[in-house]
Chain A
Amino acid sequence: DTGVSQDPRHKITKRGQNVTFRCDPISEHNRLYWYRQTLGQGPEFLTYFQNEAQLEKSRLLSDRFSAERPKGSFSTLEIQRTEQGDSAMYLCASSLSRSLYTGELFFGEGSRLTVL
């Protein structure tokens, strides 16, 4: 499968613990996005990278959240001192950036976080 892959698919943790999610984008895609989706809501933008540069961060991304894409390939999203309100599906997507950019984001299947 050459699509976007995310790991782990499910994570259950206790409040106050740290968690890290990994995303491997489609290999030739230089843009990588993180979204969060809760029940009954559409995906909410968190942040995105073009190559290794983090170009935009949402106000939803509190100080407890940090995302990296050190070599412009895979990315990690870390949540420190998790809270019950962090329980959600964390979606990763990738795309190409060019002058004829089509705007299509390719999504992974998501990492579901449950904070007890």
Chain B
Amino acid sequence: AQSVSQHNHHVILSEAASLELGCNYSYGGTVNLFWYVQYPGQHLQLLLKYFSGDPLVKGIKGFEAEFIKSKFSFNLRKPSVQWSDTAEYFCAVNAALDYGGSQGNLIFGKGTKLSVKP
């Protein structure tokens, strides 16, 4: 069965600090990988995704993530955080299918709450 582990439950940073949130997944086949973000009082929204190709993917608001297949990891990074990045971040995975589609359901990690101090 697929599973996702996020290493940090709560991260507190000052503005302009660099961010790296860890994510490891467990699955024997080819996967698609995602980071979702939930800002306070808002719904979950996609931050970035990896399906194939360049393992370094860039998302919205200056976020990027690197897929390292040998480590089963998909860590999220941002060089300089802002107060507006305060949110909860969820890593998710689903199984990729041969024709380029994906199995329906996403499996989420437990999330990492990021608090950025102004």
Chain A interface (Cβ within 8 Å of chain B)?
3-4, 31, 33, 35, 40-45, 48, 50, 55-56, 58, 91, 93, 97-105, 107-110
Could you tell me if B111 and A102 are in contact, using CB atoms closer than 8 angstroms?
Answer: no
Count of chain A to chain B residue pairs whose CB atoms are closer than 8 Å in the complex: 70
Question: Could you show 25 A-B contacts with beta carbons less than 8 Å apart?
Answer: A33-B104, A33-B105, A41-B110, A42-B109, A42-B111, A43-B90, A43-B106, A44-B108, A48-B105, A55-B104, A93-B44, A98-B101, A101-B101, A101-B102, A102-B49, A103-B32, A103-B34, A103-B49, A103-B94, A103-B106, A105-B44, A107-B45, A108-B43, A109-B42, A109-B43
Q: Measured between C-beta atoms, what is the minimum distance from B108 to chain A in Å?
A: 3
CB neighbours (8 Å) of B42 from chain A are: 109
CB neighbours (8 Å) of B105 from chain A are: 33, 45, 48, 56, 58
Interface residue range, chain B: 20 to 34
CB neighbours (8 Å) of A99 from chain B are: 99-101
Could you tell me if B110 and A100 are in contact, using CB atoms closer than 8 angstroms?
Answer: no
B17 at interface by CB-CB < 8 Å: no
Q: How far apart are the CA atoms of A50 and B105 in the complex, in Å?
A: 11
Could you tell me if A100 and B104 are in contact, using CB atoms closer than 8 angstroms?
Answer: no
Q: How far apart are the CA atoms of A16 and B74 in the complex, in Å?
A: 42
Q: How far apart are the CA atoms of A105 and B4 in the complex, in Å?
A: 17
Q: Measured between C-beta atoms, what is the minimum distance from B85 to chain A in Å?
A: 19
Which residues between 7 and 66 of chain B lie within 8 Å of chain A, taking CB atoms? 9, 32, 34, 42-46, 49, 51
Question: In the complex, what residue of chain B is closest to A31 when comparing beta carbons?
Answer: B104
Question: In the complex, what residue of chain A is closest to B88 when comparing beta carbons?
Answer: A42
